[in-house]
Chain A
């Protein structure tokens, strides 16, 4: 494991947790390791969901010249706890002629797909919960299952408003899957790999010590990032694309007939979807877990410190030119359109080798 102490602190904690199982069979260690990954992801994102929901209400309140929630804890920060308890003790109302099985499984499926997409995003060096080779494709494949779950919610409620809301939500999500995928294509073509880890590793390095080699700093990356951002807004049903939640038109859309904890599950799944899309945007365009300033890296990681010194000593202008040329003409260097993986080419060898 490369990197300094602080860089890999979560991995070391996980190793410490797994150390009692040193002599156990391989499959048991794999299962426990996966369980630790899952509980870590869930713990972090549930806490973040709680914090973000209260922050959103407070910020929206401030924009509207009022306080947000400020009664429950210090500055109202324990409001999600009160909300959670309220949702739990509410009566679970299911319409009499609703399709009980479909009505029950819809929020579960929506939440499950949202949490699955959170699993392929690299959160740090060597810190991807499920590092599979087709990570980006996995993200979009599972994301497209969300439409089926929304349809189940709309149909299972036996309610015309729910059905209409579900149709609108599905139409919106299906329409904007296309720009979402197409804006991901340049990144995949440049990197030559569908693995999020490879995409993040390709954005390593800094020019002049301050300009990170994130894809958003390239012209094509900036354009793709803007389009990806807008498509991500649509996929998460956020303003100005919150047609599925248009309260004056279709009540609550496909979530109309859900009360109590099932509604909280929908709410949570929406926020998890937002986290996942934002995480993917960070992975694809904003350098993943790479910091924006080179100086922040040297604080905790010895390996990138070494690389940093070599970058500064090499001719930064030439390197920047070569990088732009390489990134602007993917076909010219390799000579054919196939996805030739060159993500394993070392950055250092690229800086010193002839083009």
Chain B
């Protein structure tokens, strides 16, 4: 059952990503990228990390995808752009894929069965964030605040 689900999610994610790379209309490509995001979230659910999967949907589909489509909307010049298969890009992608595949297959630790870890609950994430990783959490908060202020400043200067 697990491997059937894995295969189905793999098909959906890969076809979404391939469509995002090769579709002619940019908005269609962006929306197929959303399918790839949902596929990755499905993988998180399959691996037992519910919280991460939900945050993936929240952040990627709810925010990043909306950002991408707004960017395409506000900066496009022609809707029917001439896209298609970029052969040099495809070659590079295949080379990277081959390299990663070779590395993974050569890894010896794959023979060891993965330990049965308990499902990741929000409680454990909260405890880890607040006890073990509280300093990185505060630094990330600071960086996010700086980014927000920067975005507001950028927009403000345009209006003057």
Contact B58 A140 (CB under 8 A): yes
Q: What residues of chain B lie closer than 8 Å to A52, measured between beta carbons?
A: none
A126-166 interface (Cβ within 8 A of B): 132-134, 137-138, 140-142, 144-145, 147-148, 151-152, 155, 163
Contact A137 B55 (CB under 8 A): yes
| Residue B28 interfacial (CB < 8 Å) | yes
- Secondary structure of the B contact surface, majority rule: helix
One of B59-67, B138-146, B150-158 contacting the partner: B59-67
Contact B73 A147 (CB under 8 A): no
One of B85-93, B95-103, B110-118, B125-133 contacting the partner: B125-133
Contact B50 A134 (CB under 8 A): yes
Contact A145 B1 (CB under 8 A): no
Contact A170 B123 (CB under 8 A): no
Q: What residues of chain B lie closer than 8 Å to A340, measured between beta carbons?
A: 123
Q: Whole-angstrom distance from the CB of B117 to the nearest CB of chain A?
A: 16
| Residue A93 interfacial (CB < 8 Å) | no
| Residue B36 interfacial (CB < 8 Å) | no
| Contacts known (A141-B62, A148-B61); A101 close to B28, Cβ less than 8 A | yes
| Residue B12 interfacial (CB < 8 Å) | no
Closest to B121 in A: A133
Q: Whole-angstrom distance from the CB of A311 to the nearest CB of chain B?
A: 29
Q: What residues of chain A lie closer than 8 Å to B61, measured between beta carbons?
A: 141, 144-145, 148
Q: For the complex, count residues of A whose C-beta is within 8 A of B.
A: 31
| Residue A339 interfacial (CB < 8 Å) | yes
Contact A148 B65 (CB under 8 A): yes
Q: What residues of chain B lie closer than 8 Å to A142, measured between beta carbons?
A: 57
Contact A338 B131 (CB under 8 A): yes
Contact B57 A341 (CB under 8 A): no
Contact A338 B73 (CB under 8 A): no
Contact B31 A194 (CB under 8 A): no
Q: Among the interface residues A99, A151, A193, A336, which one has the most CB atoms of the partner chain B within 10 A?
A: A151
Q: For the complex, count residues of B whose C-beta is within 8 A of A.
A: 27
Q: What residues of chain A lie closer than 8 Å to B14, measured between beta carbons?
A: none
In the assembly, what is the distance between CA of A137 and CA of B45, in Å?
Answer: 14
Contact B31 A134 (CB under 8 A): no
| Contacts known (A337-B130, A339-B123); A147 close to B28, Cβ less than 8 A | no
| Partner pick for B69 among A101, A155, A338, A341, CB 8 A cutoff | A155
Contact A155 B73 (CB under 8 A): yes
Q: What residues of chain A lie closer than 8 Å to B11, measured between beta carbons?
A: none
Contact B55 A338 (CB under 8 A): no
Q: What residues of chain A lie closer than 8 Å to B51, measured between beta carbons?
A: 134, 137
Q: What residues of chain A lie closer than 8 Å to B69, measured between beta carbons?
A: 148, 151, 155
In the assembly, what is the distance between CA of A101 and CA of B24, in Å?
Answer: 13
| Residue A102 interfacial (CB < 8 Å) | yes
Q: What residues of chain B lie closer than 8 Å to A194, measured between beta carbons?
A: 122
| Residue A27 interfacial (CB < 8 Å) | yes
Q: Whole-angstrom distance from the CB of B43 to the nearest CB of chain A?
A: 16
Q: What residues of chain B lie closer than 8 Å to A99, measured between beta carbons?
A: 25, 27-28
Contact B122 A336 (CB under 8 A): no
Q: What residues of chain B lie closer than 8 Å to A27, measured between beta carbons?
A: 1
In the assembly, what is the distance between CA of A341 and CA of B25, in Å?
Answer: 48
Contact B58 A148 (CB under 8 A): no
Contact B50 A133 (CB under 8 A): yes
Q: What residues of chain A lie closer than 8 Å to B126, measured between beta carbons?
A: 338-339
Q: What residues of chain A lie closer than 8 Å to B27, measured between beta carbons?
A: 99, 102, 155
| Contacts known (A137-B54, A141-B57); A148 close to B34, Cβ less than 8 A | yes
Task: Name B's A-contacting residues (CB within 8 A).
Answer: 1, 25, 27-28, 31, 34, 50-51, 54-55, 57-58, 61-63, 65-66, 69-70, 73, 121-123, 126-127, 130-131
7 cross-chain pairs, A with B, having the tightest CB-CB distances, nearest first: A144-B62, A141-B58, A339-B126, A141-B57, A137-B54, A338-B130, A141-B54
Task: Name A's B-contacting residues (CB within 8 A).
Answer: 27, 99, 101-102, 132-134, 137-138, 140-142, 144-145, 147-148, 151-152, 155, 163, 170, 174, 192-194, 336-341
- Extra 18 A-B pairs, beta carbons < 8 Å, given A134-B51, A144-B57: A27-B1, A132-B50, A137-B51, A137-B54, A138-B54, A141-B55, A144-B61, A144-B62, A145-B61, A147-B62, A148-B61, A148-B62, A151-B70, A174-B66, A336-B130, A339-B123, A339-B126, A339-B127
